[in-house]
Amino acid sequence: MSKNIPAGSIKKAISYLYLLAFCPPSKLAEFKASTQSMRKTMAEQARMKEAAFMKIAVPEACQYIVAFHQATREPDKVLVEELVETALSAEKNEKNLRTYKDKMNQVVTLPGRAKLENRLHRNKGCKYCVTPCRYGYFTLVSDPKLKELQELFEGEAMRPAGEQTPLRPAYAFAISHLTGVTGSERGMIAFPHVVNLAYCLMLLGMAKSRMALPERELVIFQGGSREFVRRLMK
Name the percent of the chain lying above pLDDT 70. Answer: 86
Model confidence at 129, pLDDT cuts 50, 70, 90, reads: confident
pTM for the predicted model, two decimal places:
0.87
**Between residues 225 and 177, the one the model is more confident about:** 177
pLDDT tens string 81-96? 999 999 999 999 999 9
What pLDDT shows up at residue 233?
A: 46
Output the pLDDT for position 202: 84
- The residue type of 177 is H
- For residue 168, count CB atoms less than 10 angstroms from its CB and return exposed for 0-12, middle for 13-18, buried for 19 or more: middle
Question: What is the tens place of the pLDDT at every residue in 17-30?
Answer: 999 999 999 999 99
Contact between residue 117 and residue 200 where contact means Cβ atoms under 8 Å apart: no
Burial degree of 133 (CB within 10 A; 0-12, 13-18, 19+): buried
pLDDT at 227: 61
Identify which of 86, 126, 130, 123 has the alpha carbon closest to the alpha carbon of residue 106: 86
Establish how many alpha carbons lie within 13 A of residue 43's alpha carbon, considering only the half-sphere containing its beta carbon.
16
* pLDDT cut 90: percent of the chain above it: 52
105-128 residue pLDDT tens: 999 999 988 887 887 776 666 777
Which residues lie below 8 Å from residue 138, measured CB to CB, with a gap of 6+?
14, 15, 18, 19, 197, 200
Q: Indicate the domain borders of the chain.
A: 7-114, 118-233
